Chain A
Amino acid sequence: MTTITSPPHTTAPASTGGVLHDSLLLGGRAVREALRTPDSLAPTMFIPLFFLVVNVGQAARIFPSGETPFLFGQSYGAFQLPASMLLAASFGGAALYLVEEIEGGYFDKLRATPISRMALVLGRLYAEFAKTAVVAIVMVLLALAFGIRIASGFAGFAVLILLVAAWAMVFSGFLQLLALKTRSAAATQGGSMIFFPLLFLTPNFVPRDQLTRPMEIAATINPVTYVMEAARSLILEGFDIAALAKGFGVVGASMIAMLALSVRMVNNYD
């Protein structure tokens, strides 16, 4: 081995490239990591497709397309597709990778660099966005092959992918928050299960106005409902500005809350 030289009294560059630059660098690393662990993507793809097939198989005959107004002439699979996409968006591994890094010491290495704490939070979430976008695109393409149409057209398809992938960032962000708080893989894994009650307390099988009263109340106060209704409107109806505003409003407000809490957590992390 040869000598390490470390010239004295040279100061590191005065500033880094800003939140976007640094978070994209960390996001690129997380994407590489995802590509190197393709087995971790398999459940993200297959479990939501499994639920889609099972749910449609069980309920499609109850809701024939020609006689069910809320299907707008499409099959029941079109109604179920957003629920499966949102399920796929909840499989992000960002938080578990973060726990690994905390335990292994690499998170401290990153914290010792002069980058924005926001970039530390956002880096892995960009990768979650990218991974979920790819999975969501594949799911929609498979759905198209089975006769499902996107009523809002190609632009609506793009908005749909954006909505679902942004929700994946939010959900993974809250799990990262849990990972930072507990530093435990078991607790973080347990926390991810919160998505199941959130997903099922929605107008998952029928529109909200056809739910029983207690379920309707639960769905109304559940923010995931509005993301699901926005996604569903793009598939079944076209551009419903009110539904989209509520859906993106939930994603945006949750994103701001998640980022604020996460940055505070990293700043006070001991």
Chain B
Amino acid sequence: MSAISAVGLKKTYGQGDERIEAVRGVDLEVRAGEVFGFLGPNGAGKSTTVRMLTTLMTITDGTAHVGGVSVSDDPHGARRKIGVALQEAGLDNRQTGREILTLQARLFGMNAATATARAQELLELVGLVDAGERRVKGYSGGMKRRLDLASALVHEPEVLFLDEPTTGLDPASRITVWDEVRRINESGTTVFLTTQYLEEADQLCGRLAIIDDGLIIREGTPAALKADLRNRKGLDADPTLDDVFLEATGRTRERAAGEVKEV
């Protein structure tokens, strides 16, 4: 069964001359249990697609299902199937970590005792028990990400959406998040991950899609995408995922003053 499916997904903003097509017809099929990477340059339509799939944005055209539930026809049903951790760790800085998790659990229908127990369990699991009574305002970036991840898991979702979960994190925190994503996935949760870090996609994702200018331009396993580029270009060695990305999006790299930059 598909964990996520989208057909002809479109999002348009504005009207007339100011009409902008942020997503122009995305088709997606993510199988249950996989880690699916969604890559693209800034402004390509990654976050817009995630926001439509997670009920946070209205869909202009097309259909989307998560866990078999139509996102637009039954948004509450879809919300019960998904966990969401967006680019900004969406947390209330004036509450403590424990309060945030407990509230989240109660909003997903748990009674007070169950919610309290679930909050404790999650604090233990993300290593934040000692910080549980502290207000989130005093947390480091890595702690906020872990708490955000924990709050997305509070109701044991079938599908976890992670929108650039490691942006802004130091390397150690990034590796910690990667480990957690792997473990979450090993326990059976489907993960839909957007990232700008190609190494991250290579490390974590079984399959991935590259979106540019609102359309999916490549889709497959990292190995298949690399092999395809190697064959098409007649390369002697396997290219990196960076090469696949740059070739797909029509961008090139040039080395100037010792730095590699996209142009």
Q: Nearest Cβ in chain A — how far from B212, in angstroms?
A: 22
A66 to B90, CA, bound (A): 60
Q: Nearest Cβ in chain B — how far from A152, in angstroms?
A: 38
Which residues in B have some Cβ–Cβ distance to A below 8 Å?
13, 33, 51, 54-58, 76-77, 79-84, 86-95, 99, 103-104, 106-110, 122, 124-127, 135, 146, 149-151, 153, 155-158, 160, 176, 180, 183-184, 187-189
A9 to B159, CA, bound (A): 9
- Provide the A236-261 mask, 1 if CB < 8 A to any CB of B, else 0: 00000000000000000000000000
Q: Does A14 contact B (CB under 8 A)?
A: yes
List the 7 closest A-B pairs by CB distance, nearest first: A8-B188, A105-B90, A13-B109, A1-B127, A105-B88, A12-B155, A109-B90
Which residues in A have some Cβ–Cβ distance to B below 8 Å?
1-17, 22, 25-26, 29, 32-33, 36-37, 101, 104-115, 268, 270
B160 neighbours in A (Cβ, 8 Å): 6
The answer to whether B184 touches A6, judged by C-beta atoms less than 8 angstroms apart, is: yes
Complex: chain A residue closest to B89, CB-CB:
A105
CB within 8 A of A106: which of B92, B108, B125? B92
Complex: chain B residue closest to A36, CB-CB:
B94
A105 to B145, CA, bound (A): 13
A11 to B150, CA, bound (A): 17
CB within 8 A of A111: which of B56, B99, B108? B56
The answer to whether B90 touches A104, judged by C-beta atoms less than 8 angstroms apart, is: yes
The answer to whether B82 touches A112, judged by C-beta atoms less than 8 angstroms apart, is: yes
Given contacts A4-B125, A101-B92, A104-B90, 15 further A-B contacts (CB under 8 A): A2-B124, A5-B125, A6-B188, A7-B156, A10-B156, A12-B155, A13-B110, A13-B155, A14-B109, A29-B92, A104-B88, A108-B56, A109-B91, A113-B104, A270-B51
User: Which of A10, A104, A112 has the most B CB atoms < 10 Å from its CB?
Assistant: A112
A2 to B124, CA, bound (A): 7
User: Which of B55, B94, B158 has the most A CB atoms < 10 Å from its CB?
Assistant: B94
Q: Would you mind naming 20 contact pairs between A and B with Cβ atoms under 8 Å apart?
A: A2-B127, A3-B180, A4-B149, A5-B125, A6-B157, A6-B187, A7-B187, A11-B158, A12-B80, A12-B109, A14-B80, A16-B108, A17-B109, A29-B103, A32-B94, A37-B94, A105-B88, A105-B90, A106-B91, A112-B84
The answer to whether A109 touches B187, judged by C-beta atoms less than 8 angstroms apart, is: no
A107 to B82, CA, bound (A): 16
A111 neighbours in B (Cβ, 8 Å): 55-56
Complex: chain B residue closest to A111, CB-CB:
B56
**Given contacts A4-B150, A8-B189, A36-B94, is CB(A108)–CB(B183) below 8 Å?**
no
The answer to whether A1 touches B80, judged by C-beta atoms less than 8 angstroms apart, is: no
A13 to B118, CA, bound (A): 14
The answer to whether A29 touches B95, judged by C-beta atoms less than 8 angstroms apart, is: yes
The answer to whether A1 touches B176, judged by C-beta atoms less than 8 angstroms apart, is: yes
B54 neighbours in A (Cβ, 8 Å): 112
The answer to whether B109 touches A1, judged by C-beta atoms less than 8 angstroms apart, is: no
Q: Nearest Cβ in chain A — how far from B143, in angstroms?
A: 10
Q: Nearest Cβ in chain A — how far from B145, in angstroms?
A: 12
A5 neighbours in B (Cβ, 8 Å): 125, 183, 187
CB within 8 A of B56: which of A14, A106, A112? A112
A113 to B54, CA, bound (A): 10
The answer to whether A12 touches B106, judged by C-beta atoms less than 8 angstroms apart, is: no
B157 neighbours in A (Cβ, 8 Å): 6, 12
Complex: chain A residue closest to B94, CB-CB:
A33
User: Which of B146, B156, B184 has the most A CB atoms < 10 Å from its CB?
Assistant: B156
**Given contacts A104-B93, A268-B58, is CB(A16)–CB(B109) below 8 Å?**
yes
The answer to whether A113 touches B153, judged by C-beta atoms less than 8 angstroms apart, is: no
The answer to whether B107 touches A105, judged by C-beta atoms less than 8 angstroms apart, is: no
The answer to whether A6 touches B103, judged by C-beta atoms less than 8 angstroms apart, is: no
Q: Nearest Cβ in chain A — how far from B144, in angstroms?
A: 10
The answer to whether A112 touches B79, judged by C-beta atoms less than 8 angstroms apart, is: yes
